[in-house]
Chains A and B, each alone.
Chain A
Amino acid sequence: MSMMQRATEALNRTLPDRDVDPLTTARRVVGQPVSRVDGPAKVTGGAAFTADVDLPGMAFASLVPSRIARGRIRRIDVTRAAAAPGVIGVVTHDNAPRMDTPVLMTLTAKGCAFIDVAPLQDDVVRWNGQAVAVVVAESQECADAAAHLVHVEYDADAARTSFGDLQSEAVFPADVLGEPPEITRGDVDGALAGAAFVVDEVYSTPQHHHMAIELHATVARWTPEGKLHVWDSTQALVRTRHSLAHAMGLPEEDVTVTCRAVGGGFGNKTVWDHQLLCVAAARVTGRPVRLALRRKDAFRMTGGRAPSRQRVALGADAAGRLRALVHDSVTGIVHENSPEQVSVPARHLYAADTYRIGQKKVVLDVVPNASMRAPGDSIGSFALESAIDELASRVGLDPIELRRRNEPAVDPTDGTRFSKRHLIEAYRRGAERFGWQERNRVPGGQRDGRWLVGHGTASAFYPYIRMPGGKVRIRITADGRAIVSAAANDMGMGTETVQVQQAAERLGLPIDRVGFEFGDTTLPESPIAAGSAQTASLVITVAAAAEELKKVLLKRVPRRSALYGLKPNDVVYRDGGLRHAGDPSRAATFEELVGEAEYVEAVGSSPMLPLEFMKYSMHGYGAHFCEVRVDAVTGETRVSRWVACIDAGRIINPKTAASQIRGAVIMGVGSALMEEGLVDRRTGRTVNASAAEYHVPVHADVCDIDVIFLDLPDPLTPMGVHGVGEIGIVGVAAAVANAVYNATGVRVRDLPITLDKIFTGSGAS
């Protein structure tokens, strides 16, 4: 950390807290299980996704992927492709327009790219599967067929493809989300050596790929005046505009990005090469162009979760109190990308006398890793929470009791106070619902016919994040309705519904009198939907806009009105209008206030930098409980029961929030039992790049998932909320691994837990 940063933090700690949001306890609309407002359109096929955009004169693009991991293109021959039926043009590094490096994704930068070089700017191949040409044709079929006719010859260089083989070359990254890559306290190795109980193991996780149901798609159109309109499947409209404008050397106001519906983002619907290639193809051919990735392209041209190797060493005294906590981890990385932050959970979950928590990186020539639902935390917690479980059995303690004994009073590494932390309460409630007291206590000790039954638990954890910046406009129309507008993103998690709900609460309206307008950069600028931060970021900005709107409305109050002469602080939103805070008889409806005008509007800005999470330790927590059944003959493992008790602040909509947790648990079960990107070390190529071969859970693999929210507000956050998109996956893989151990007596430390690992491990029959 720099001196400057330290000074800012020190100063910041002395600043007073913001006032608690008065709506933290409101229950009229917030807290209600409102059904998705976009539900009917989604289930009837009415919702239009990017690949549905159909413009007059639109052409279709298909990408030619490289076949080597590193090297140069010696020769690229497009003659046959260019002459194929329906082909309009072929773009390669020979004729691509010059494009600047797209701006990389960081918390504070304005871009959202994961690749630090623009495509087709030179003859260098940087990973296997990178696009080396774009074929544009009158139909998708013509483009796809002609793409096979592009002939490429390569001069291949030695490539760094195997994460496992390169462990000895691991080095520290500059930082991990702005924190030092390694933090230490005390003589951790000495404490470990002298501990009464020790667990010292290595855990590993493979490369994971995104498998959102909607594939990436972009449509690009240049206007005759040289302006650019892009329809893109994105979770970051404004950052995509910034990245594209920067790459194409355009002022931002000349670029519009539109996206109304996304079929799953999970951190991967950001800027990759395909948007730039689509824009370039439209420029070169002079036609609007649609570029929709195929499933194998999504595997090879967009990144997911980096592979990791993590040593966790825990030393405990006779009572199970941690004397030493070591988390030495390594992840794969490409270029300047942020490292997968696997060391974050260990920095905040347990009190330990001494610790060393850190992570190194191994640079690889593969498709750059991106963020994938709870990047780092999810796989980092697999290692940490497996090790805690191993320690519990070594000490002979219930793993929940072990956690209780190591519950910190303040943040264990920052020393800051918790804004709220109800982890142990989450365990208590979850355990009660799950029937944890009746669990199997002897590994391999419970059988139901051919199944070995086991139970496991692990902690969920995720940082509270509020994105800086962003604006919201509220418009009150003559009929007294509110339209809230922001260039926000709905990737299918219920943004529209929840924004309608929270704005209705704020403005004193029923939900059917509030509309939420989003999905286009012509609307007020809004932050990326990432880090589970969009809801909180919008809630605070809507609150700011509502305050601005009060001023505008009060200016319109006529002399004869009961509200005449009141200041914004004197009035509250209530019953479809404004009312004196202390005297309900002094009120006016929105219709009265708007009067003869068509509408009245105000814009509010996100009030200040999110300094609160420098002063406080602000995180969500939770407890996962899982039952697995392991076939005693084959080792096939199926998850049969799940309870997740989540401490993620105030819940705006328990229905959509529970769906977020359920989806995250399902994704976590995938990582636990089946997901594995197979990168061939000889070629650096992802071999199982298809939905048939890269397994994620199907319906038959998913049991009932019982979600409980503690629903306790965080006094420091708008409306008391935290994000709920990512926390649910953290701890899932560990809970499964812990349950598999409980069922079989076999501890699998290498994901995914496939039957061959259990089976060769146990030799059970």
Chain B
Amino acid sequence: MREFTYTKAADAAEAVRLAAAGARYLGGGTNLVDLMREEIERPTALVDVSGLAQGITEHPDGSVEIGAATRNTAVAAHPRIRRDYPVLARAIVSGASGQIRNAATVGGNLLQRTRCPYFYDVAARCNKREPGSGCDARQGFHRTHAVLATSAHCIATHPSDMCVALVALDAQVHILGPAGARVVAVADLYRDPGETPHLETVLGPAELITAVRLPRAVDGAVSTYRKVRDRTSYAFALVSVAAVLRVVDATVADVRIALGGVASRPWRARVAERELLGAPAEPDTFKRAAEAEFRSARPLPDNAFKVSLAPRVVADVLKGLSG
């Protein structure tokens, strides 16, 4: 039996101390434990952080802070989240299953790993799992894989729904590490694969996610999440769109768009946003802007459909929000 130690952290400081000594953080375990069963992750020590910082705090400045151990279900059910950040509530409930969302934490969701089947199969080559071994997905099955910011070494996607909404909301991650606390935008938490696809985030050794903070909701904006998938439930996104839109006098006054299923990270569609800001809020504009986002796409044979599908979904979502 592959043995590991298990400690339940009393507080964040203790968790960081244990992690600095080599322990891995354990949230709900819905991803990490699966990967341990497959021997893809082989921690020798676990520090359970699922009992830390749970809860949702509403700050006077209008921002909302979500403790990293808050369960996905609790976030999606919170009245304030549902009222001011419907895109987040909808993204969460479109993911996984009720049972998994009840166990999964916000911190764990942010750091869940890709669902690329070659990553999951220790018999396959995967640069993320075994740096330098190669990428079997590129010439293998890659219908679900990324088309944006991929590299020769990796075409895996970040699979989360929740994180796509967080990126669209300009949320920030609060981090505590051996060297102290810091804050990073969720959009900046992830790295592009480049030559080091095994390095997925900017977190340093033993850095703990303690909270996620949502800035005050944009006044007068509407938001939603649309997930396109192969079955109605319990399937990862082929393409997903989180959008926040404010239209004034038929003109786009504010727009934030993030995409799932198309990149190694929840993808902020900055090109499209730039084209849209100040432009007429019309289907044609939406479509052109969304297509512009995918000009840099590098599709492969099986996932080329995403390059035409994603802009159509973006345009449709914006049309729905503006109409």
A: which residues have CB within 8 A of B? Answer: 65, 67, 84-86, 139, 141-142, 144-145, 148, 633-636, 638, 673-674, 678, 680, 682-683, 685, 687-690, 692-693, 695, 697-701, 754-756, 759-760, 765
Q: List 13 A-B contacts (CB under 8 A).
A: A145-B2, A634-B228, A635-B309, A636-B228, A683-B124, A687-B118, A695-B231, A695-B235, A701-B232, A755-B228, A755-B309, A759-B308, A760-B308
A700 contact set on B, CB distance < 8 A: 231-233
B140 lies within 8 A of A638 (CB): no
Instruction: Identify the 4 closest CB pairs spanning chains A and B, nearest first.
Output: A700-B232, A756-B305, A700-B233, A67-B123
A698 lies within 8 A of B234 (CB): yes
B230 contact set on A, CB distance < 8 A: 673-674, 695, 754-755
> Does B288 sit at the interface, judged by CB under 8 A?
no
Question: Which residues 114-164 in B have Cβ within 8 Å of A in the complex?
Answer: 115, 117-118, 120-121, 123-124, 136, 139-141, 143
A692 lies within 8 A of B121 (CB): no
Cα A698 to Cα B118 in complex, Å, equals: 24
B313 lies within 8 A of A633 (CB): yes
Q: Which of B139, B143, B233, B313 contacts A698 (CB 8 A)?
A: B233
Question: Which residues 299-313 in B have Cβ within 8 Å of A in the complex?
Answer: 305, 308-309, 312-313
B234 contact set on A, CB distance < 8 A: 692, 698
B140 contact set on A, CB distance < 8 A: 680, 682, 687
B136 lies within 8 A of A680 (CB): yes
> Does B316 sit at the interface, judged by CB under 8 A?
yes
Cα A759 to Cα B37 in complex, Å, equals: 38
Distance of B141 from chain A, by nearest CB (Å): 5
Cα A656 to Cα B1 in complex, Å, equals: 44
Cα A86 to Cα B3 in complex, Å, equals: 12
Q: Which of A685, A754, A765 contacts B121 (CB 8 A)?
A: A685
B229 contact set on A, CB distance < 8 A: 636
Cα A599 to Cα B312 in complex, Å, equals: 75
B120 lies within 8 A of A690 (CB): yes
The answer to whether residues A756 and B309 also contact, given A680-B136, A680-B141 and a CB cut-off of 8 A, is yes
A685 lies within 8 A of B233 (CB): no
A683 contact set on B, CB distance < 8 A: 123-124
Distance of B28 from chain A, by nearest CB (Å): 16
B141 contact set on A, CB distance < 8 A: 678, 680, 687-688
A755 contact set on B, CB distance < 8 A: 228, 230, 238, 305, 309
Cα A685 to Cα B232 in complex, Å, equals: 28
Distance of A447 from chain B, by nearest CB (Å): 15
Cα A756 to Cα B168 in complex, Å, equals: 26
A759 contact set on B, CB distance < 8 A: 305, 308-309
> Does B39 sit at the interface, judged by CB under 8 A?
yes
Nearest residue (CB) in A for B239 is: A634
Q: Which of B123, B238, B308 contacts A685 (CB 8 A)?
A: B123
Cα A142 to Cα B1 in complex, Å, equals: 4
B313 contact set on A, CB distance < 8 A: 633-634
Most buried by B among A148, A680, A682: A680
Q: Which of B1, B139, B312 contacts A633 (CB 8 A)?
A: B312
A693 lies within 8 A of B312 (CB): no
Cα A26 to Cα B122 in complex, Å, equals: 59
Distance of B285 from chain A, by nearest CB (Å): 15
Distance of B112 from chain A, by nearest CB (Å): 12
A682 lies within 8 A of B139 (CB): yes
Cα A98 to Cα B232 in complex, Å, equals: 49
A141 contact set on B, CB distance < 8 A: 1
Given contacts A86-B1, A680-B136, A682-B139, 17 further A-B contacts (CB under 8 A): A145-B1, A148-B39, A633-B313, A633-B316, A634-B228, A634-B312, A635-B309, A636-B228, A673-B230, A688-B117, A693-B120, A700-B231, A701-B232, A701-B233, A755-B230, A755-B305, A759-B308
Distance of A209 from chain B, by nearest CB (Å): 14
B2 contact set on A, CB distance < 8 A: 145
Cα A687 to Cα B120 in complex, Å, equals: 9
B136 contact set on A, CB distance < 8 A: 680, 682
Cα A754 to Cα B231 in complex, Å, equals: 9
Cα A457 to Cα B139 in complex, Å, equals: 38
A692 contact set on B, CB distance < 8 A: 115, 234
Question: Which residues 54-102 in B have Cβ within 8 Å of A in the complex?
Answer: none
Cα A690 to Cα B308 in complex, Å, equals: 29
Most buried by B among A84, A142, A634, A690: A634
A687 lies within 8 A of B39 (CB): no
Cα A65 to Cα B305 in complex, Å, equals: 35
B121 lies within 8 A of A673 (CB): no
Nearest residue (CB) in B for A691 is: B234
Question: Which residues 246-264 in B have Cβ within 8 Å of A in the complex?
Answer: none
Cα A678 to Cα B124 in complex, Å, equals: 14
B121 contact set on A, CB distance < 8 A: 685, 687, 689
B118 contact set on A, CB distance < 8 A: 687
Cα A765 to Cα B308 in complex, Å, equals: 11
The answer to whether residues A673 and B231 also contact, given A687-B118, A688-B117 and a CB cut-off of 8 A, is yes
B139 contact set on A, CB distance < 8 A: 682
A638 lies within 8 A of B232 (CB): yes
A687 lies within 8 A of B305 (CB): no
B117 lies within 8 A of A674 (CB): no
Nearest residue (CB) in B for A68 is: B123
Most buried by A among B37, B117, B118, B124: B117
Cα A148 to Cα B1 in complex, Å, equals: 10
Cα A664 to Cα B313 in complex, Å, equals: 33
Nearest residue (CB) in A for B34 is: A692
Q: Which of A65, A142, A678, A698 contacts B231 (CB 8 A)?
A: A698
B115 contact set on A, CB distance < 8 A: 692-693
Distance of A746 from chain B, by nearest CB (Å): 14
Cα A683 to Cα B2 in complex, Å, equals: 29
B1 lies within 8 A of A139 (CB): yes
Distance of B184 from chain A, by nearest CB (Å): 30
Distance of B163 from chain A, by nearest CB (Å): 18
A680 contact set on B, CB distance < 8 A: 136, 140-141
B143 contact set on A, CB distance < 8 A: 756
Cα A680 to Cα B234 in complex, Å, equals: 24
Cα A673 to Cα B228 in complex, Å, equals: 14
The answer to whether residues A687 and B1 also contact, given A754-B230, A755-B228, A765-B312 and a CB cut-off of 8 A, is no
Cα A589 to Cα B313 in complex, Å, equals: 74
Distance of B230 from chain A, by nearest CB (Å): 5
Distance of A681 from chain B, by nearest CB (Å): 8
Nearest residue (CB) in A for B283 is: A765
Distance of A744 from chain B, by nearest CB (Å): 15
B123 contact set on A, CB distance < 8 A: 65, 67, 683, 685
Distance of A630 from chain B, by nearest CB (Å): 13
Cα A636 to Cα B235 in complex, Å, equals: 13
Distance of B36 from chain A, by nearest CB (Å): 10
Cα A689 to Cα B123 in complex, Å, equals: 12
The answer to whether residues A634 and B231 also contact, given A682-B140, A685-B123, A688-B117 and a CB cut-off of 8 A, is no
Distance of B31 from chain A, by nearest CB (Å): 11
Distance of A171 from chain B, by nearest CB (Å): 29
B286-323, CB under 8 A of A: which get 1 and which 0?
00000000000000000001001100110010000000
B180-205, CB under 8 A of A: which get 1 and which 0?
00000000000000000000000000
A84 contact set on B, CB distance < 8 A: 1
Distance of A705 from chain B, by nearest CB (Å): 16
Nearest residue (CB) in B for A680 is: B140
The answer to whether residues A698 and B117 also contact, given A67-B123, A759-B309, A760-B305 and a CB cut-off of 8 A, is no
Most buried by A among B140, B231, B305, B316: B231
Cα A634 to Cα B231 in complex, Å, equals: 12
Cα A634 to Cα B118 in complex, Å, equals: 27
B235 contact set on A, CB distance < 8 A: 695
Most buried by A among B1, B141, B238: B1
A674 lies within 8 A of B231 (CB): yes
Distance of B300 from chain A, by nearest CB (Å): 13
